[in-house]
Amino acid sequence: MRALFSYGLAVVILLLAGGWLATGTLVQGGQGPGNGETPIIAMIEGEDHGPIATTLADAGVLAEHNGPEVDPALTIAQRNEATTGSGAPLQSVRTQRFTAAAMPIEVPLRGRTQAKATVTAVAETSGAVDVVHVTKGQRVEVGDPLCTLDQGTRVAAVAQAEAGLAQAEAALAQAQLNFDTNVDLRDRGLAAANTANAVEVALAQAKAGVSQAKAGLDNAEAELERTEIVAKVAGLVQDPVAVAGSMLNAGAPCATIVQLNPIVFTGMVPEAHIGLAKTGLEATITTVTGHSVSGQVTYVSAVADNATRAFPAEIEIANDDFTIRDGVTAEAIVNIGTAPGHLLPQSVLTLDDEGVLGVRTVEDGVVAFYPITIVSDTREGVWVTGLPLVSDVITVGQENVNSGQAVEASPTDQSAETAAS
């Protein structure tokens, strides 16, 4: 008896479930929106609008599916536009106004640092090295002593040249006195006129003797000064450095000085930007060691490299404390100038149906699409060109609308308007 009750209850439940299902529809997938939907009661009766279906429909039990047909080829934005055209509410979007500002045009260059010059201080005369005043890595200034050579007989040569000059000056004084006396005697008629030639020749010879003696003294002093080798440029001392006691001939190196202030950044300008490159442009150089300094373009080659088709360029950098070394990899950002552009957040960038990168704006309540060009990417956003001077950019909902679609735009709470400079 208990079993019969259970089976009966189960049969009732099945009948109720079957009746409920019969009032619905069967959906067959893969046929697009609005297609593949068949009432279950029609499948049972084998025909549409059979007697059972008519009875259930009159009783208000059969489900009705009379929604609008949807073209499966339409995108979501196009379906929304079609719905909007039928009297439905406009699509809501959020906009933000951006005004064109002065956009910096910057060209990045990869390269390395390089000493402005490497100068070898050489001996200008022969002699043994008495004293070496510097060591490797020492910083020197212009005029600092590097090496002192044995003076030998050079001091005596200077003394001899000084004595010769004094003797020549005494002879000149005597010749001048004889000339003046002869002139006075001839004026008073006490000396013959033909005596003038002799005193004039003697005076000229005495003057020449003084000039010769001065030249000899200058040469002797210069030869003595050559025993002191001094720095002609400021920088750091590097190999090779002479050793005390060694013999240096004329032209032999005493020390090598690397000129590090100013230091030079050398890089290659791509041929696409060579028309904008010129001397005097400001640049910011960042080395791999973490130094960031400012510099100025001092040289742009007129000849491209045969391998890379890029043009060598140099940027001079102040390096007062010598913290930037020669040969360090670095990157330079050269400021070419400015141009009108918009600074936008990356989130507003989108693609149109052809895959073109751009921005959707709202103009008089209608969506417009503008292709843009990204000029530079910064922490504050991306600098782009291609937008009108003042643009109401869609920041929320740009993926759900199309160009030409009417929308209900509301501005964001925070203004991101950038003043044009």
DSSP characters over 191-215? S-GGGHHHHHHHHHHHHHHHHHHHH
Residue 30 identity: G
- Report the alpha-carbon distance of residue 233 to residue 28 in Å, rounded: 89
Domains and CATH numbers, the chain: 2-58 (no CATH), 89-100+345-411 (2.40.420.20), 105-149+231-338 (2.40.30.170), 151-226 (1.10.287)
d(CA 344, CA 358): 11
User: Which tokens belong to 152?
Assistant: 């030998």
Q: What share of the chain is helix, strand, coil (3-state, %, to 5)?
A: 30, 35, 35
Q: Is 76 helix (H, G, I), strand (E, B) or coil?
A: helix
Q: For residue range 73-88, what is the model confidence (pLDDT) as tens digits?
A: 666 556 655 655 555 6
pLDDT at 165: 92
- The whole-number pLDDT of residue 2 equals 66
Q: How many helices (H) and strands (E) does the chain have?
A: 6, 22
- Measured in degrees and rounded to the nearest 5, phi and psi for residue 171 equal -65, -35
- At 415 the pLDDT is 45
Nearest to 228 by CA among 159, 138, 143, 160: 143
- Residue 36: predicted pLDDT: 57
Residue closest to 246 by CA, chosen among 137, 147, 120, 143: 147
Q: What tens digit of pLDDT does each residue of 216-250 get?
A: 999 999 999 999 999 999 999 998 899 998 999 99
Task: Specify the pLDDT at position 421.
Answer: 38
**Amino acid identity for residue 120 in this structure:** T
Quote the crossing angle between the two packed helices 196-225 and 154-187, to the nearest 10°. Answer: 160
| Confidence (pLDDT) at 3 | 64
Pairwise CA distance, residues 109 & 291, whole Å = 16
pLDDT in tens, the chain (421 residues): 666 666 666 666 765 555 555 555 555 555 555 555 666 656 666 566 666 666 656 655 555 555 555 566 666 556 655 655 555 678 888 999 999 998 888 888 999 999 999 999 999 999 999 999 999 989 999 999 999 999 888 889 999 999 999 999 999 999 999 888 888 888 888 888 888 888 889 899 999 999 999 999 999 999 999 999 999 999 999 988 999 989 999 999 999 999 999 999 999 988 877 887 889 999 999 999 989 999 999 999 999 999 889 999 999 999 988 899 999 999 999 887 788 899 999 999 999 888 899 999 999 999 999 999 888 888 889 999 999 999 999 999 888 888 889 998 888 765 444 433 3
- Phi/psi of residue 291, each to 5°? -85, 135
- Residue 420: its pLDDT value, please? 37
Beta strands in 141-196 (DSSP E): 145-149
Q: Which amino acid is residue 85, in one-letter code? A: G
Query: β-strands 357-363, 349-351: how paired?
Result: antiparallel
Instruction: Name 411's bridge partners.
Output: 95
Q: Residue 329's pLDDT is what?
A: 95
pLDDT at 417: 44
- Token representation of residue 205: 């010879």
Residues with Cβ within 8 Å of 96's Cβ and at least 6 positions away in sequence, in order, are 348, 392, 393, 395, 411, 412, 415, 416
Checking 54-63 for CB contacts under 8 A at 24+ apart, the result is 56/22, 56/23, 61/23, 62/23, 63/23, 63/24, 63/25, 63/39
In this prediction the pTM is: 0.56
Q: What is the pLDDT of residue 313?
A: 93
Long-range contact list for 236-241, CB < 8 A, 24+ apart?
236/137, 236/138, 236/139, 236/140, 236/260, 236/322, 237/134, 237/135, 237/136, 237/137, 237/138, 237/139, 237/140, 237/146, 238/118, 238/136, 238/137, 239/136, 241/132, 241/134, 241/135, 241/136
